[in-house]
Amino acid sequence: MGTVLMVGTRKGCWIGRSDDQRDEWTWSGPHHDMEEVYSCMVDTRGASPRLFAGASSSWLGPQVRWSDDLGATWQETPGGAIKFPEGSGATVERVWQIVPGCEDGVVYAGTEPGAVWKSVDGGATFALEEALWNHPQKPEWGAGFGGQAFHTILPHPTDPDSVTVAISTGGVYQTTDGGASWAPRNQGIRADFLPEDQRYPEFGQCVHKVTRHPSRPERLYVQNHGGVYRSDDEGGSWKSIGDDLPSDFGFPIVVHPHRPDTIYVFPLGGGDGRYPPDAKARVWRSDDAGESWTPYDEGLPDTFYVGVMRDAMCTDSHDPAGIYLGARNGAVWASTDDGATWRQIVSNLPDVMSVKAGTWKD
């Protein structure tokens, strides 16, 4: 089995390759040198993996590029295919998310400003989800410190008409009719930055990331800007599961590839000090859907004054699973035992924004 790891940074993308043991890694890069790569995707639905990178150049603007030879060569969407219609008054600044749909050839992208796009030709062209872009609540969405972006897109694993998305600061939204309409799904998620009597609004939450396991699509997990939550009814209601954590502020949240009740977070000290509590890097794992948490730190640094961003933590599909995290100091750590122990596999890269893994039969 081959293993590939894409690491998107503020100054290009690096690609790591290994086998199923994941002991030794070879690296190539930078790909898309000096461009911001906020999103990566390893699409393993075909006979061989296709790599996607959402890159943004200060001079040429954003572009989605893909490679069918593990980064040796790249192609890009014709004419910068992710573009708002003429007269919209909007311009795509960054591509924050690229994910596969449940149907062959379907790829979704999330951008800044906040919009979701759908491709039905494998990422060659993209169409704007207009009902979401024109949503009546959109004028009240904020931008957050990182910019207004749809950073989470979760296509339902079996229902092509159902997609759940999240934006900072707007909250979680869902369509069940193929994008014809979108409803907010935020009941029970707190918005600490609002007045005390307004902290559970219908929308407007600063959701940092949402995840789920394909075998239990009705169960969602959220890392909020203050709060970790679980929904057992696909976002209809949310329950706090962050009480045992040292901090309920953070960015990434990922689910184990084979165990839908096992999730991982990387708590940070809060909005003012965006590094781990006591400056000690710790990955916290729950094996009971957030009812209890255990820290894991073997191999991680005890002095760590940087953060891990929302898309800079991921898993592969091996068993035992590989868990990966990239930090804003340009280092990437990997665990090959479900997160119990860690080791650094690359260092001295630029500021890491996205880490995505894929496996295939080579």
Chain segment 31-85, per-residue pLDDT in tens: 999 999 999 999 998 888 999 999 998 888 899 999 999 999 999 877 567 889 8
Q: In what order do the strands lie in the sheet with 239-240?
A: 207-211, 220-224, 228-231, 239-240
Please report where in the chains the tokens 């001079």 appear, as a residue.
Answer: 59
CB-based contact 312:357 (threshold 8 Å): no
d(CA 234, CA 173): 11
- Residue 349 dihedral angles phi and psi, to the nearest 5°: -85, 170
CB-based contact 163:185 (threshold 8 Å): no
Q: Is position 7 within any domain?
A: no
Give the pair of three-digit tokens for residue 93. Answer: 């600044």
Give the pair of three-digit tokens for residue 253. Answer: 């949240």
Q: Please give the pLDDT value at position 46.
A: 81
Q: Is position 58 within any domain?
A: yes
d(CA 183, CA 254): 24
Look at the chain and report how many structural domains it folds into: 1
Please report where in the chains the tokens 């804003």 appear, as a residue.
Answer: 328
Q: Is position 86 within any domain?
A: yes
- Residue 287 dihedral angles phi and psi, to the nearest 5°: -105, 5
Q: Please give the pLDDT value at position 311.
A: 98
Chain segment 132-181, per-residue pLDDT in tens: 999 999 999 987 777 789 999 999 999 999 999 999 889 999 999 999 99
DSSP secondary structure letter of residue 121: S
Q: Please give the pLDDT value at position 80.
A: 60
Q: What is the 3-state secondary structure (H, E, C) of 124-191?
A: CCCEECHHHHCCCCHHHCCCCCCCCEEEEEEECCCCCCCEEEEEECEEEEEECCCCCCCEECCCCCCC
Q: Please give the pLDDT value at position 77.
A: 79
Q: Please give the pLDDT value at position 271.
A: 64
Give the pair of three-digit tokens for residue 285. Answer: 């794992």
Q: Please give the pLDDT value at position 270.
A: 73
d(CA 348, CA 327): 10
Q: Please give the pLDDT value at position 221.
A: 98
Amino acid 67 reads: S
- Residue 288 dihedral angles phi and psi, to the nearest 5°: -135, 40
Of 151, 147, 336, give the one whose Cα is nearest residue 252: 151
Long-range contacts of 55-61 (CB under 8 A, 24+ apart): 55/13, 55/95, 56/93, 56/94, 56/95, 61/91, 61/92, 61/93
Q: Is position 355 within any domain?
A: no
Please report where in the chains the tokens 């040292």 appear, as a residue.
Answer: 246
| Burial of 158: CB neighbours in 10 Å, binned 0-12, 13-18, 19+ | exposed
State the virtual CA torsion across 214, 165, 206, 332 in degrees, nearest 10. 50
Kindly report the CA angle at 15 between 10 and 20, in degrees rounded to 5? 140
Give the CATH number of the domain where residue 218 resides: 2.130.10.10
Q: Is position 275 within any domain?
A: yes
Q: Which residue(s) pair with 117 in the sheet? A: 109, 128
d(CA 32, CA 293): 39
Q: Please give the pLDDT value at position 87.
A: 86
Please report where in the chains the tokens 């650094």 appear, as a residue.
Answer: 344
Q: Is position 335 within any domain?
A: no
Q: Which residue(s) pair with 325 in the sheet? A: 313, 333
d(CA 358, CA 362): 12
pTM of the shown model = 0.96
- Structural domain span for residue 174: 43-307
Q: Which residue(s) pair with 358 in the sheet? A: 4
One digit per residue, the tens of pLDDT, for the chain of length 362 reads 899 999 999 999 999 999 999 999 999 999 999 999 999 999 998 888 999 999 998 888 899 999 999 999 999 877 567 889 888 889 999 999 999 999 999 999 999 999 999 999 988 899 999 999 999 999 999 877 777 899 999 999 999 999 999 998 899 999 999 999 999 999 999 998 889 889 999 999 999 999 999 999 999 999 999 999 999 999 999 999 999 999 999 999 999 999 999 999 999 997 667 899 999 999 999 999 999 999 999 999 999 999 999 999 999 999 999 999 999 999 999 999 999 999 999 999 999 999 999 998 87
- What SS3 state is found at 31? strand
